[in-house]
């Protein structure tokens, strides 16, 4: 958020964005998704629930998907940080476990699943979802893994991205299909994929 630029250029007179309205929309969208599902997540319903005019939503978000992305980014930065400091095999296992818990227990997990889903239906969603969420997060995860390899903590047989897909994929797939995630899944995945070929 930019410091007051001293220039007398006047980018904006008068009104500025109403933070209360912004938060009301974000929370309303989150609540509606969790309570009544993506089908009930209409712009009209969000506006109604947030006590906000539809135009206020359209002024700041191009679609309801971007609202969800905003909440997801804020929430997962806060509640599911990628461990970037001195990563160990242990911290990677821990991250996978946290990720599984995030998906199944955190409301924001529902948001993530809904966005993965909606990205299949709509190319705009796919684009935005990759650019704003998946890409940046993958960058951090790739970095984490690369450092762990450098440190000799792990030595996966697959490429960086493929390894991450192989670790994260099963967890996401279980969440998508509604299976409970077995307690030992994350550890076994890590063990099977992060250690060098034994023969």
# binding residues, its own copies (CB under 8 A): 45
Alpha helices (H) along 41-134:
43-50, 54-60, 64-79, 89-105, 107-121, 123-129
CB of 56 to its own copies, least distance (A): 13
Among 7-15, 88-96, 151-159, 170-178, the segment contacting DNA (CB under 7 A): 7-15
Minimum CB separation of residue 33 from its own copies in Å reads 10
Q: Helix 160-177 to helix 185-194 angle, to the nearest 10 degrees?
A: 160
Cα 182 from Cα 50, distance rounded (Å): 38
Site for DNA in 8-37 (CB under 7 A): 8-18, 21-22, 24
What does the block give as tokens for 49? Answer: 């629930």
Least gap, CB of 172 to DNA (angstroms): 26
For residue 94, the surrounding DSSP H or E stretch is helix 89-105
CA dist., res. 183 & res. 30, Å (int): 28
The alpha carbon of 17 is separated from its chain's Cα centroid by a whole number of angstroms, namely: 25
In the set 35, 37, 42, 127, which binds DNA (CB under 7 A)?
42
Residues forming contacts to its own copies in the complex (CB under 8 A) are: 37-39, 113-114, 116-123, 126, 130, 134, 157-159, 161-162, 165-166, 168-174, 176-179, 182, 184-185, 188-189, 191-193, 197-199
């Amino acid at each position: 958020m930019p410091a007051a630029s001293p220039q007398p250029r006047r980018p904006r007179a008068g009104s500025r964005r109403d933070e209360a309205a912004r938060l009301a929309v974000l929370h309303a969208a989150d609540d509606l998704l969790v309570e009544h599902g993506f089908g009930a997540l209409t712009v009209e319903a969000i506006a109604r629930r947030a006590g906000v005019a539809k135009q206020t939503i359209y002024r700041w978000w191009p679609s309801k998907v971007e609202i969800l992305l905003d909440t997801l980014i804020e929430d997962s930065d806060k509640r599911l940080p990628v461990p970037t400091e001195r990563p160990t095999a242990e911290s990677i296992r821990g991250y996978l476990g946290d990720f599984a818990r995030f998906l199944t227990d955190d409301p924001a997990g529902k948001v993530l699943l809904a966005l993965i889903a909606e990205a299949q239906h709509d190319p705009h969603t796919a684009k935005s979802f990759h650019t704003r969420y998946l890409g940046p997060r993958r960058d951090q995860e790739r970095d984490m893994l690369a450092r762990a390899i450098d440190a000799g903590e792990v030595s996966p047989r697959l490429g960086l991205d493929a390894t991450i897909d192989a670790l994260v994929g099963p967890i996401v797939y279980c969440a998508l299909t509604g299976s409970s995630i077995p307690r030992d899944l994350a550890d076994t995945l890590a063990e099977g994929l992060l250690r060098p070929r034994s023969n």
